[in-house]
Amino acid sequence: MRIALDAMGSDNAPGPEVRGAVEASLQDDTEYLLVGDRERLEQALAPYKRRGRISVVHASEAIRMDDQPVMAVRQKKDSSLLVALRLVKSGEADACVSAGNTGAVMVAARTILGPIRGVSRSAICQTVPTIKKPVLLIDLGANVDCTARQLCDFAEMGMLYMEHVLRRKNPRVGLLNIGEEHVKGNDLAKAVHRNLSASGHINFVGNIEPRAIYNGDADVVVCDGFVGNVVLKTTEATAALIKQRLHRELMSTWISKLGAFFSMGAYRRLKRETDPNMYSGAPLLGVKGVVIILHGSCSSLGVKNSLLGARRAVRSRINEHIRHGIERLRNTEAHLNAQEANP
């Protein structure tokens, strides 16, 4: 297996990418292709005498975080991102991982790799911590405005990713809404609820409110990209606020400092569980190839875990499962339409 890594994408590239690839390469015999400026990458690799199968693929350009995505993809043909995706397209790599400009990753992946047959729109998903097991939230910003068909596709793809990559059997799928009752929400939410309820193969648990995400009442939570992105960023901001307030209160008196000392183990475990670098990035589902997106400020640990997540996704043959799942969903959709036409 070969995984292409856009080694010039993150805020601190290529340091986190190189170290993360070296650490991942020591796990098994997967080959990691570091794509970017050859001279800089070879210099960054030099201190790591002990490493697995790592190769460098030269790319003369890099897409910056402040680049306009469509223009960058059109103009920077030899950027590390585009070269990495073309390696997937040609079959020279099985997956692509990038911590670069998210918009550019989406545009380039859709342009170079194209959609899986039958998929109406690709979507970004990511696991978020809850009081139980992590929950998969889909979509996180790839599609601001969605149709009922697209949201049903997201439900199908998210369910299959949770089942085959994250290995959770018969995952529960919930639709994010303003209330639990099936009559709640706008016309779009009602249509999605009706369609998912009619699909016998999706374990649909109905509408869920935002608080139910963190209670772990569903394994996959479906929403459009606008709502999903707001939920994710609000979650990150709230977690940061709680950490800051907790630290301030614990350092306020000598008694609270003493309590903090004896609770250090619990705080470290909490920090670990809420650290995005502990998770395997954000997959872009629905394109012909495994694509994982990381935050630009990711650490080498985040890169390593995303590379290992890409490896798991490739081995699970997730895109084959998605293709068959979408076909099954379309059959259900046709049956439902026929019933409505002939009540």
Give the pair of three-digit tokens for residue 83. Answer: 């070269």
Rounded to a whole number of angstroms, the CA Rg of the chain reads: 21
Asked: is 1-119+286-317 a CATH 3.40.718.10 domain? The reply is yes
Fold of the CATH domain 121-278 = Isopropylmalate Dehydrogenase (3.40.718)
Return the pLDDT at 279.
84
Query: Of all residues in the chain, what percent carry a pLDDT higher than 70?
Result: 99
Return the pLDDT at 282.
95
Please compute the mean of the pLDDT values over residues 111-136 and round it to a whole number.
Answer: 93
Same-fold call for 1-119+286-317 versus 121-278: yes
Please compute the mean of the pLDDT values over residues 117-132 and round it to a whole number.
Answer: 93
Is the whole model's pTM more than 0.85, yes or no? Answer: yes
Q: Calculate the dihedral angle through the C-alpha atoms of 230, 231, 233, 236, rounding to the nearest 10 degrees.
A: 170
Please compute the mean of the pLDDT values over residues 294-320 and round it to a whole number.
Answer: 95
Strands (E), the chain: 2-6, 31-36, 54-58, 95-98, 123-128, 135-138, 173-176, 204-208, 220-222, 282-285, 290-293
Task: List the strands of the sheet with 135-138, edge to edge.
Answer: 54-58, 31-36, 2-6, 95-98, 290-293, 282-285, 123-128, 135-138, 220-222, 173-176, 204-208
Given a contact cutoff of 8 angstroms between Cβ atoms, the answer to whether 35 and 83 are in contact is yes
pLDDT digits (tens, 9 = 90+) for 34-59: 999 999 999 999 999 899 999 999 99
| Cα 99 to chain centroid, rounded | 11
Please compute the mean of the pLDDT values over residues 190-210 and round it to a whole number.
Answer: 93
pLDDT digits (tens, 9 = 90+) for 202-255: 999 999 999 999 999 999 999 999 999 999 999 888 888 988 888 898 899 989
Using the predicted structure, report yes or no on whether residue 340 has a pLDDT greater than 80: no
Return the pLDDT at 343.
64
Q: What is the maximal distance between C-alpha atoms in the chain?
A: 74
Tell me the domain boundaries of the chain. 1-119+286-317, 121-278
Instruction: Please indicate whether residue 172 or residue 331 has the higher confidence score (pLDDT).
Output: 172
Sorting pLDDT into bands at 50, 70 and 90, what band is 309?
A: very high
| Cα 152 to chain centroid, rounded | 18
Sorting pLDDT into bands at 50, 70 and 90, what band is 338?
A: confident
